[in-house]
Structure 1
């Protein structure tokens, strides 16, 4: 699973040739969520604090995430995205 960012113990990744709608995965410890890039719908479970950080990061990097989604669908190398600081 190609990792595109890491911050505060959260790992964000996209899978190559994954199913629509455009989304990314975020893992924190044993918890994992799937977040739609446009709209922010969330499935899975994660602590409220960690999920808040993931959603804040995603809102700052929506264009970067969509670019990586397109690269992943084309089986191209993904770009690293700046972590939340």
Structure 2
């Protein structure tokens, strides 16, 4: 995130969409944890999880959060894994 912000790929106007991405990923993980606690998986929860995962994938692509979408945007800067992903300025 700090790199995408510094390169102005993500701006303050995009933060609501990025927040939606985070919510979708969190909901998907919560559903996965809930499904593993039961004896039999709830198929309705499975369908809901798939929809959250699809939403997260679409938002990630829209905001340059995937390698493919960053390449499409033209971001040729090398990845730096030393950034703290939560240190958004």
Scaled by the length of structure 1, what TM-score is found?
0.32
Instruction: Flag the structure with larger Rg.
Output: 2
Q: Which has the higher contact order (CA 8 A, sep 6+)?
A: 2
**Counting strand residues as a fraction of each chain, which structure ranks higher?**
1
**Counting helix residues as a fraction of each chain, which structure ranks higher?**
2
Scaled by the length of structure 2, what TM-score is found?
0.31
